[in-house]
Structure 1
Amino acid sequence: MIRIGCHLSSSKGYESMAKDAISIDANTFQFFTRNPRGGNAKAINEKDVERFLATAKDKDITPLLAHAPYTLNACSADPKLRDFAKRTMADDLVRMEYTPGNMYNFHPGCHVKQGVETGITYIAQMLNEILSPDQTTTVLLETMAGKGSEIGGRFEELKQILDLVDLSDHMGVCLDTCHVWDGGYDIVNHLDEVLNEFDQIIGLNRLKAIHLNDSQNPLGAHKDRHAKLGEGYIGLDTFKRIVTHPILGKLPFYMETPNDLDGYAREIHMMREAAG
């Protein structure tokens, strides 16, 4: 059975997310560690975590994918913003140890006219300062659409970051289908070729999760606008090939489509039906 879920609201805590996941037949889910615009996180409710861990074990809900706030920019030209990103992510990784053995995903950031190489150096520097040998959380770089000065629109850029991280065994990649499509990787007509390119540059052993999103834009638009599965330029047939792919089908899938819980339930059912 495929491992599939969606992005759930963390405002009411872990146990509430588990209940939402169960209600839509999800066996994994993604959530924001705090307000997506950043700021302070709510204090961890240890009783809530205990109840969640028991439910997750009983219902086989795993792995969790935490998502860093969108506003964090580890390669900003402003040192104060870089420091804010570092402090926030360091705090998030401490909090993640309450639910050990899961994943934490973040957008690499925008270099803002400093140049890709400078941006990559800043990102790796931050990771080297916050990663711990003892952590159980795997930190994922997300593939991006390459809009503006965004880093991560090319596989080579992610590879450069990984190569500069000392504890790279704690690192991986989350492939976002909308982002790679908007970034110019033709997963509709050349899925295996794209995966081969990923393998040659980064290594498929680094691929830990899939964001399953359709795109409102044509190939190579560099715009990053998500669509519901089957209602964009990528199309439902491609998603059926992805969830049944001998390599990708073994990974956890997380949908970030513009949906409510009922919409996510329909998409999960479609993908489960396709996977058989």
Structure 2
Amino acid sequence: MLKIGCHLSNSKGFRNMGIEALKIGGNTFQFFTRNPRGSKAKAINEEDVAEFLKLAKENNFVKILGHAPYTLNACSADENTRIFAKEVMEDDLARMEYIPNNFYNFHPGSHVKQGVEVGIKYISDMLNKVLKPDQTTTVLLETMAGKGTEIGRTFEELREILNRVELSDKMGVCMDTCHVHDAGYDIVNDLDGVLEKFDNVIGLNRLCAIHLNDSMNTLESHKDRHAKIGEGFIGLEAITNIINHPKLKNIPFFLETPNELDGYAREIALLKSIYK
């Protein structure tokens, strides 16, 4: 079974996102935990959560993925921004426990000319403050394209963060296909080699989710511009290989392509048709 979903708006609640996912052929979805470019979060509606959990169980949903806002930068040079990041993640993780045993993904952040080492220390320090022994949510570091001073452009940078997190069993990685391609990992011509590298540096047991996107830019461009499936420099053949790779095919895939719901429905149908 292909574990597939897309990014949905959480403006109408969890149950509605579950219904939309089913309508487009999905069995999971990703959502922003709050305004992606702000700080406000909707109040949790426990009745809505209960209805979603029932719907998810009845329809064999796999783990869903909460996404932190883009404004969360745990390694900013500005102390207030780092405090904001900690407070947001702490609140988000408490809210995620209403839908237990799922994933929460965040961009490691940009060190803003402080240096990678300083940035990694800030990120790991924050994680050591917010992670709790009894939480059921797995927090995922996202692989990044390497724009500017982004941390997470290499597997080694993510590994270093994981090494410094005390509750490392609460951590995993979300691989973004556009990002790793733009960062310089050749998933088109050497997927096996890239996965071997990931396994040697981080461990494939840490790979919990994949953002499945094509790329508008060439290998090692460090641009991070997503394209529709089969319409970019990664291409449909490589994406076919990714979703069918024996080391990846049982991981949930989340589309972040430039689409509305009808476009996502077409992409999910296409991916199901090439899934073996």
- Give the deviation of 1:38 after TM superposition: 2.5
Count the aligned residue pairs. 276
The DSSP-based 3-state class of the residue aligned with 1:173 is strand
- Give the deviation of 1:171 after TM superposition: 0.1
Gaps of 5+ in 1: none
**Partner Cα separation in structure 2 for residue 118 and residue 126 of structure 1:** 13
**Partner Cα separation in structure 1 for residue 158 and residue 87 of structure 2:** 22
One-letter code aligned to 2:220: G
TM-score, with normalisation over the residues of structure 1? 0.99
RMSD: 0.5
**Partner Cα separation in structure 1 for residue 213 and residue 10 of structure 2:** 20
The DSSP-based 3-state class of the residue aligned with 2:249 is helix
Deviation sequence 1:80-118 (CA, Å, 0-9, x none) = 000000000000000000000000000000000100000
**Alignment of structure 1 residues 1-276 onto 2, 5 Å:** 1-276=1-276
One-letter code aligned to 2:202: I
**Partner Cα separation in structure 2 for residue 117 and residue 43 of structure 1:** 37
**Partner Cα separation in structure 2 for residue 177 and residue 158 of structure 1:** 16
Please say if residues 176 and 210 of structure 1, whose CA atoms lie closer than 8 Å, have aligned partners that are also in contact.
Answer: yes
**Partner Cα separation in structure 2 for residue 271 and residue 125 of structure 1:** 39
- Give the deviation of 1:160 after TM superposition: 0.2
**Partner Cα separation in structure 1 for residue 38 and residue 21 of structure 2:** 24
Deviation sequence 1:3-59 (CA, Å, 0-9, x none) = 000000001100110110010010011000001012121110000001000000001
**Partner Cα separation in structure 2 for residue 92 and residue 38 of structure 1:** 13
The DSSP-based 3-state class of the residue aligned with 1:88 is helix
- Give the deviation of 1:274 after TM superposition: 0.7
**Partner Cα separation in structure 1 for residue 126 and residue 265 of structure 2:** 37
The DSSP-based 3-state class of the residue aligned with 1:72 is coil
**Partner Cα separation in structure 1 for residue 196 and residue 38 of structure 2:** 36
The DSSP-based 3-state class of the residue aligned with 1:211 is strand
- Give the deviation of 1:240 after TM superposition: 0.6
Please say if residues 38 and 72 of structure 1, whose CA atoms lie closer than 8 Å, have aligned partners that are also in contact.
Answer: no
**Partner Cα separation in structure 1 for residue 102 and residue 62 of structure 2:** 8
**Partner Cα separation in structure 2 for residue 151 and residue 176 of structure 1:** 14
- Give the deviation of 1:60 after TM superposition: 1.1
**Partner Cα separation in structure 2 for residue 200 and residue 54 of structure 1:** 39
The DSSP-based 3-state class of the residue aligned with 1:250 is coil
One-letter code aligned to 2:58: D
- Give the deviation of 1:62 after TM superposition: 1.9
After TM superposition, what 4+ stretches of structure 1 lie above 6 angstroms from structure 2?
Answer: none
Deviation sequence 1:166-188 (CA, Å, 0-9, x none) = 00000000000000000000000
**Partner Cα separation in structure 2 for residue 209 and residue 71 of structure 1:** 22
One-letter code aligned to 2:77: A
Gaps of 5+ in 2: none
TM-score, with normalisation over the residues of structure 2? 0.99
